[in-house]
Amino acid sequence: MPDLHVSWSEYHQKIEQLAARVYQSHWEFNQIICLARGGLRVGDILSRIFDQPLAILATSSYGGSAGKTRGAITFARDLTMTTANLGSHILLVDDLVDSGVSLKRTLTWLDRHYGFYIDEIRTAVLWYKACSVITPDYYVDYLADNPWIHQPFEAYENMNPEDLLKMHSTTLG
């Protein structure tokens, strides 16, 4: 199975396609929660398109060399949000669902910590891999062969401020 390489243009197009799928369902939600880091850009753009408040749940499950080693999921202590209370109909977004374990555990975490606010949660991702133990409610691409996805922002994982200064020193003066 070859890796899947995604450009910025393709990435933004996938987010727009995801928005269209959610809209087409006619489901009314009043809160978006994105999983950071992968779901940050997706959540931000969907929040703008649907004009709904965005809450962020910081999670981590990948590490190791090139961030390709899946480990146990770690959750932040709380959601970050600007509203007094969490909405009752939640669109939970991430960039992809790989094994599905992280998404499944996130649903459990939300129920334990904020369940008294929540009437319904639906999930939305750009890429849904066949190996997932959970099927998202909304997705753009189903990936039967489970490729590694190279997203456009991964280039920043190998950069540091010193390298950027060298690259841009002529324009920064």
pTM recorded for the entire structure: 0.89
Q: How big is the CA angle at 11 (ends 90 and 47), to the nearest 5 degrees?
A: 30
pLDDT tens-digit profile of 29-50?
999 999 999 999 999 999 999 9
Which residues are 90's β-sheet partners?
A: 31, 121
Whether 28 has a pLDDT exceeding 80, the answer reads: yes
pLDDT in tens, 93-133: 999 999 999 999 999 999 999 999 999 999 999 999 999 99
DSSP structural state of residue 38: T
**Hey, what are 20's tokens?**
């269209």
Position 67 scores a pLDDT of 52
Distance CA 16, CA 110 (A): 26
Segment 58-73, tens digit of pLDDT? 998 755 555 555 668 8
Domains detected in the chain: 4-172 (3.40.50.2020)
